[in-house]
């Protein structure tokens, strides 16, 4: 059984309630039917009932077991506005602004999670990542120990070797979607958060590689110095963590190369968490692996929030929505 099927079985075991903010999108409606059919989660779609029903009829989707709510006409909106205003008034938000925001699907969905009336939220099929993530941060807030929200991709890479005993290799790539140019402190936080995510999703000991164009001082540059400082910070905060850097990608992944370039490293040659030094390298890397290695890329999966909320690509397919809900349900388990 591959990892994605394992994750779906875990999601089935808890029946979490996930709200889909873009309930008038045909891909989201089709995904909702699949999620209910496969018992992956309980689903609420946000949008106008008539529009959703019309689209469902057009694409042949059965929504009998799915709750539909229109934020504009919901009695809950006033309570959600109070929650949002309490969270945002120190930033200058007015009651009127909170009332308006709380009736938009992006905010309404996340405020359902903040009010403990849903376990997680998924959006981004029709909204930009900036707007989707902003709504999540402002409505749900950060974990106590988090200073930033970052993201990772769960990369399921087919094993092409005939000698391999496994069908796929599972890796976490971070950050590939949120933080453009993290400083050393932020890079360390991304590494720690992604290691914790790896433990939850891979159910394996995280082995974290802080990537660079240099391995163990083979080159000197301000960007390699940032990675070394991030390693120092991460080790000080989490001495239990198996983490090393700076490592080139081949040294992080290939045992024979690790033996030559980073002998004695606790993670080189066997890393399952790859931390990229900036968003350029992370985003380019995951897209290359997805396209050239025909990998499944699930994400961006947000980390650092108090409760789960995740972003979709506007180019997503129905399957991507199903996968995002599966991941969100698992995040909601703890």
Show the beta-strand stretches assigned E in 203-282: 207-211, 242-247, 273-275
3-class SS at 20? strand
State the DSSP H helix or E strand holding residue 147, giving kind and residue range, or none if neither.
Answer: none
Give the containing element (helix H, strand E) for 96: helix 95-102
**pLDDT truncated to tens, each residue of the chain (334 aa)?**
588 889 999 999 988 999 999 999 999 999 999 999 999 999 999 999 999 999 999 999 999 889 999 998 888 888 888 888 887 877 777 787 878 888 999 999 999 999 999 999 999 989 988 999 999 999 998 988 888 999 999 999 988 555 556 678 999 999 998 999 999 999 999 999 999 999 989 878 999 999 998 888 676 778 889 999 999 999 999 999 999 988 989 999 998 998 888 888 899 889 999 999 999 999 999 999 999 999 988 888 999 999 999 999 888 899 999 999 999 999 998 7
152 within 8 A of 301, measured Cβ to Cβ: yes
Burial class (CB in 10 A: 0-12, 13-18, 19+), 190: buried
Q: Which domains does the chain have, with CATH numbers?
A: 3-141+306-331 (3.40.50.10950), 150-292 (3.40.50.10750)
Rounded CA separation 39/2 (Å)? 18
CB 153 within 8 A of CB 172: yes
């Amino acid at each position: 059984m591959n990892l994605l099927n394992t994750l779906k079985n875990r999601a089935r075991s808890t029946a979490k309630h996930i709200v889909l903010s873009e309930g008038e999108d045909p891909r989201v409606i089709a995904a909702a039917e699949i999620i209910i059919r496969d018992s992956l989660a309980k689903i609420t779609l946000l949008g106008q009932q008539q529009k959703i029903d019309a689209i469902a009829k057009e694409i042949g989707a059965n929504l009998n077991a799915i709750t539909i709510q229109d934020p504009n006409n919901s009695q809950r909106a006033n309570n959600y506005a109070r929650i949002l205003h309490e969270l945002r008034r120190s930033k200058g938000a007015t009651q009127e602004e909170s009332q308006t925001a709380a009736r938009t699907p992006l905010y309404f969905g996340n405020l359902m999670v903040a009010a403990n009336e849903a376990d997680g939220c998924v959006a981004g099929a029709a909204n930009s990542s900036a707007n989707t993530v902003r709504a999540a941060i402002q409505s749900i807030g950060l974990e106590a120990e988090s200073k930033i929200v970052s993201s990772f991709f769960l990369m399921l890479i087919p094993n092409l070797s005939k000698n391999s005993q496994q069908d796929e290799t599972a890796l976490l790539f971070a950050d590939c979607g949120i933080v453009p140019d993290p400083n050393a402190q932020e890079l360390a936080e991304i590494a720690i958060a992604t290691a914790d995510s790896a433990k939850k999703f891979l159910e394996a000991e995280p082995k974290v590689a802080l990537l660079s164009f240099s391995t163990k001082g083979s080159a000197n540059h301000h960007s390699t110095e940032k990675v070394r400082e991030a390693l120092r910070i991460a080790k000080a905060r989490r001495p239990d963590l198996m983490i090393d850097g700076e490592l080139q990608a081949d040294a992080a992944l290939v045992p024979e190369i690790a033996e030559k370039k980073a002998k004695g490293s606790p993670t080189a040659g066997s890393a399952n968490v790859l931390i990229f030094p900036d968003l350029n390298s992370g985003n380019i890397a995951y897209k290359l692996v997805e396209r050239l290695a025909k990998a499944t890329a699930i994400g961006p999966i947000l980390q650092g929030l108090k409760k789960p909320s995740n972003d979709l690509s506007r180019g997503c397919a129905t399957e991507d929505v199903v996968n995002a809900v599966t991941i969100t349900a698992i995040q909601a388990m703890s």
